[in-house]
Amino acid sequence: MLSNAEIGIDLGTANTLVYSKNKGVAINEASVVVVDTVSKKVTAVGNDGKEMIGKTPEKVTAVRPLKNGVIADYDLTIEMLRHVIQKAAKMMGFSLRKPTIVVCTPAGSTSVERRAIQDAVRNAGAKKVYLIEEPVAAAIGAGLPVDEPVASVIVDIGAGSTEVAIISYGGIVSCHSLKVGGDKLDDDIIQYVRKKYNMLIGERTAENIKLEIGFALIEHEEQTMEVRGRDLVSGLPKTTTLSSFEIRDCLKESLLAILDTIKATLEDCPAELSGDIVDRGIILTGGVSLLNGIEEWMAKEIDVPVALAPSPLESVAIGTGKALKYVHKLPTTAI
């Protein structure tokens, strides 16, 4: 049984989620730390920090301490983890006890990167740390029978990376990772608008465009969106109207790279498990799985059923929490 002092953490590039048995996903904070570059003090963490991205004065900077699912700034990652663990402690009532934590790592991460995550979580206040590979956590969170001898295919498209894995008997049979995710799609939109309209837009605006009128490579009824930014010639504020057809086309290269990664993983699948994939299909998780038309497009391209996980944004967090019951079966590592 999970106690209050046992939690799962999805340490994501864009968001950090905390799962507990009693409350489910209790905390969902942006993976952002705001630092005063003069005093070196942390002034905001999480969602408060995200609100400040692109709006801070010169001496204050908003940093995302994780990149492609792994730690890019060790000290700021500890600060961010300490914030979410303390918040979880108050919410769940284990403030006098150090929690046992299961935290996910990208399947393609190195032993050094995994050790850095373990050490950061422990230094942030954990009693014991277990690592679980992100695709396995996503599959558990999506309700797939990971410990049975059948193939479960999970495609987790997060902010920093895409992980595609075939899981059977509690382990990864085939897995490919790609450093393309939601952040890359946002950057594709920023670069397109810059090149086509001589206009500079911020990360949050690009993300809103992606969510509102972003489409996978499918035919659809055209949608438009009014976008504000800064004219690169005059330096003055500028407004333009974007079409969903434009956004679909500018995302093409990144989406095809994700598709190639899925195909490469399926090609590595043992023949005995291929029949399961045809019957059971592929499950999508992660923020980019919410892109308009992505299920329909992928199903058409790979000729295999594609479905969205019940809670695509929370699957990894739910899986990390539930993995405490699977520790004896799954390839986790404890300190």
- What tens digit of pLDDT does each residue of 243-288 get? 999 999 999 999 999 999 999 999 998 888 888 999 999 999 999 9
Please check if 159 is assigned to a binding site. Answer: yes
- pTM (2 decimals)? 0.90
Distance in angstroms (rounded) separating the CA atoms of residues 95 and 328:
27
Would you say 209 is a known binding-site residue? Answer: yes
4 annotated ligand-binding residue: no
Can you say whether the dihedral through the CA atoms of 67, 70, 76, 82 is positive or negative?
Answer: positive
* Rounded Cα–Cα distance for residues 296 and 158 (Å): 19
> Where exactly are the structural domains of the chain?
6-137+316-334, 146-180+255-311, 182-252
307 assigned ligand-binding residue: no
User: Hey, which CATH number is domain 6-137+316-334, 1.10.3720.10, 3.30.420.40, 3.90.1150.10, 3.40.228.10?
Assistant: 3.30.420.40
Confirm or deny that 295 is annotated as ligand binding.
no
**Is 15 marked as binding a ligand?**
yes
Interval 105-137: pLDDT, tens: 998 888 999 999 999 999 998 888 889 999 999
Chosen CATH of 182-252 out of 3.10.129.10, 3.40.50.720, 2.60.40.420, 3.90.640.10: 3.90.640.10
Using alpha carbons only, how large is the chain's radius of gyration in Å? 20
Q: Would the annotation count 160 as a binding residue?
A: yes
159-212 pLDDT, tens digit each? 999 999 999 987 899 999 999 999 999 999 999 999 999 999 999 999 999 999
Q: Is 208 annotated as a binding residue?
A: yes
- Tell me if 6-137+316-334 shares its fold with 182-252: no
Confidence of residue 326 (pLDDT cuts 50, 70, 90): low
Domain 146-180+255-311: give its CATH code: 3.30.420.40
Residue 96 above 70 pLDDT? no
DSSP-derived 3-state class of residue 58: coil
pLDDT, position 4: 58
Is 161 annotated among the ligand-binding residues?
Answer: yes
Say which range, 57-66, 90-99, 238-247, 297-306, has the weakest mean pLDDT: 90-99
Return the pLDDT at 69: 79
State yes or no: 47 annotated in a binding site.
no
What's the pLDDT score for residue 3?
A: 54
User: Where residue 323 falls among pLDDT bands split at 50, 70, 90?
Assistant: confident
The pLDDT of residue 334 is 46
By percentage, how much of the chain surpasses pLDDT 90?
70
